[in-house]
Structure formats: C-alpha cells, structure tokens
Amino acid sequence: MKDVFEFGSRVREDFPLLKRQVRGKPLVYLDSAATAQKPIQVIEAVKNFYEKFNANVHRGVYSIAEEATAAYEEAREKVARFINARSPREIVFTRNATEAINLVMYSWGLSNVRRGDVLLTTEMEHHSNLVPWQNLSKLKGAELKFVGFNEEGFLRLEELDNYKDVRLFAFTFASNVLGTINPVRELVKYAKEAGAVTVVDAAQAVPHMPVDVQQLGCDFMAFSGHKMLGPMGIGVLYGKERLLEEMEPFMVGGEMVKAVDFRGSEWNEIPWKFEAGTPNVEGALGLAAAIDYLERIGMDAVRKHEVKLTEYALDTLIRIDGFTYYGPSSPEQRCGLVSFNLRGIHPHDLAALLDEDGIAIRAGHHCAMPLHSRLGIAASARISFYIYNIPSEVDFLAESLKKIKRVLEA
C-alpha cells in the first residue's frame, strides 16, 4: 500500500479543497462519483480565461474574441484525442452527461424511432440513462425492454438472445451503484447484429480509465466534465459523424445556424448545429486543463490506483460485522466505488454520523431507484475514490464505522 499512499499523497497536494477541515477534522472526501474535486491547474485555467481573454466565441473579429474561440475549439480537439474520436466534429459540448443523452433522445430518437420498435436498456442504469428512454417510448409508442443483472452484479448477457431486432441499445459503461464495468465491445457487437444504435453512458468510466471510442465502436457516448476534475456545467456527447450529420438540432436559436431569413433557417455544420446560444467556454477550458492533468498522470495509472484502493477497501470493510456490499467481488471488474449497507443502520444515518468525523460519503438511491428495487433495498451507502484518495482514508472510515456500530448497539 506504500505506493498507493505515495501516489495519492503527491496528487492531493494539487487539490486546495482537500486541505480543509470539516467539524475540526481533516476532510475525508469519498464521494468523487458524485463530483470530483478540482486541482489548482483547473481552477487557474478558468481564472486565466476571465482575467486574460474573456469574450464570446465564434462572433468577434477582435483579438481576445479570436483567442477565446481558438481556446474553445482546442478544448474540443483535446476531448476528441482523449477518447480517440476520429475528429473534433464528433464532439458536442453539453451541460452534462444527462443533457448529452437527452440530445440523442430528442435529435436522433424522435426521427428514427417508430411505433412498436424495441428500445433496450439495462436494469443497472442511472435515471439519466433510463428516464429519457421511458420518455421516448411514450412519445413514439416504442417498447422499452431491459437486460437484468445477476447476484454478482453482472449483466445477464444470455438475455440478449431474446432481442433480435432492436432500434436502440442504451447501457452504462460502469454502474454508479454496483461498480460493474460492462463488456462494452461485446455489447456493441451484439447491438450491431440486432440493428441497434448504441448509446453508452460513460459518466463513471471516462474519468477513471482509458476509453477509446473507435476501439469500442459505439455510436454515441455521454460523459460529464465535473466527474473528471473539470468544472460543473460542461459535458460531452460523442457521436459518429454520419449520425450527427443526419440528425435534427436539439435546441434552436443563435450560434447553431448558418443563414436565417424571415421564413426559415439553414443549420450550421456539426458539431455547432447542436450548440445553440453562448456556450460554456470557461467549462470547456477547465475541462481541457483537467484532461491535461489526467494525461500527465496517465489513465492506466489512474485506473491502477483505483483498483488497488478498491481492493484495500473491500478487504478492510468486509471484516466489519454486518457489512454487505453490492456488485462484483473482483476489484478488476469494478470501478472505484463500493455501495454497501451496515446491518441495522439506515444509510442516511450512517452518512450523517460519518460527517461528524469529517468523512463525506453518499447515501440514498444514487439516482438509481429501479436498480435498488432489484437489489431488494431502498437505499445504500456509497464510497467512491479518485486519484487523490489514500489508504489511510479507508482506515479512518473503517474505524469510524466500527465506532458508530459500538455506539448504536450499546
């Protein structure tokens, strides 16, 4: 664990917020799946924009406007390289992963889905990759079907045999509750045979492991900047160029048009066709700085750190009497989060009591109510890691959990 401690300790130095205290104790931040903390380099990139070249993009011909436009489009190129898209034209900036999925639902779904079509998703989805498809099926009279998961939290791949003709297959890359990393390539291969367009919710994957959209072969992929050290309010939709070209715009107005007269308008080229109005320039620049930061560390190293921390957490916490966790037992098959329950204690009470020791965890249904009902529980507690976490934080958590148990059971 010495190497994990040293890695995390070095990284933490860059994160001002991690130096603060909560209730007189050092903050132990174990909720990066909800949102990640930001390194000074990202904070500086946003500050630098406002101090040096704040101007609207794609409009002005003066110097600072050109600098802002260039920086915004360079951020797009950086995102494209980060996930190995063929071209920056395949990268649409959105507010977050949720908006990216909604964009596909409205722009692709409304014109491509017909009454009776099958839309397939899974029982382990975050609401953001479920509610849009419920909506689309209602709007178009399509049938929404689900692939279940087994006791270990793996998708029941054998159920795919039941669906031979599918219009759309939307699934998560990594579950924000079970931690399961799904076999994306295999799922995309199946989808192609079934005639389905694929939407991959990569909100819990792109921040934590190398992701290559060309290698995966998916049609669409969504993720959020704030979960990968970037600012809030910036997200990404990756879409294959051919599909984006064919799609209608998501929102209409300024910026997304090439020519307008009183009767009608001609749409701009992709990706700008999907970016109506003034975009989140500070967000894109902050995201670019976050990508620089992650690339300097290396996504393989990010992943390795989280696997080791997860392994340590499972080994440590499983020794606590009454501790139950959900999802795969092998850390290699899960992302860096663990959802759990402690017998006899409601997860909300647990989270509130841990906060008294300065430990921040998430409790509730984690925006995945149907998943929890499949597990037969109403709620769970969840810890989630990132590059700045260290093994001693797991030890603090374990000690605090044992103390809470002693007090409540006394």
Active-site positions read 367
* Whole-number Å distance between alpha carbons of 293 and 287: 10
Shortest distance in whole angstroms from residue 141 CB to ligand C6P: 26
By the rule CB under 6 A, 123 interacts with ligand C6P: no
Assess 32 for contact with ligand C6P (CB under 6 A): no
Residue 68, by phi and psi: left (phi above 0), alpha (psi -120 to 50) or beta?
alpha
Binding mask 208-227 for ligand C6P (x = CB under 6 A): ----------------x---
Question: Using the rule CB under 6 A, is 280 a contact of ligand C6P?
Answer: no
Site string for ligand C6P, 150-179 (x = CB under 6 A): ----------------------x---x---
* 129 touches ligand C6P by CB under 6 A: yes
Note whether 137 binds ligand C6P by CB under 6 A.
no
Minimum Å distance from CB 339 to ligand C6P? Answer: 10
Say if residues 165 and 197 touch (Cβ distance below 8 Å).
no
CB of 197 to ligand C6P, least distance (A): 18
CA separation for the pair 129, 132 (Å, rounded): 6
182 contacts ligand C6P (rule: CB under 6 A): no
Cβ-Cβ contacts under 8 Å for 315 (sequence gap 6 or more): none
Looking at the Cβ atoms of 100 and 142, the one nearer to ligand C6P is 100
Q: Is 350 in the site for ligand C6P (CB under 6 A)?
A: no
Which residue shows structure tokens 């104790």? 25
Q: How far is the CB of 251 from ligand C6P (least distance, A)?
A: 17
| 38, 76, 78, 126: residue in contact with ligand C6P (rule CB under 6 A) | 126
Do residues 50 and 381 lie in contact, with contact meaning Cβ atoms separated by under 8 Å? no
* Cα 199 from Cα 136, distance rounded (Å): 14
Residue 114 structure tokens? 């017909």
Distance CA 400, CA 355 (A): 10
Scanning 93-101, 107-115, 207-215, 278-286 for contacts with ligand C6P by CB under 6 A, the matching segment is 93-101
By beta-carbon proximity to ligand C6P, the closer residue of 98 and 380 is 98
Tokens for 339? 């959802």
Kindly give, in sequence order, each residue whose CB lies less than 8 Å from that of residue 81, ignoring residues fewer than 6 positions away: none
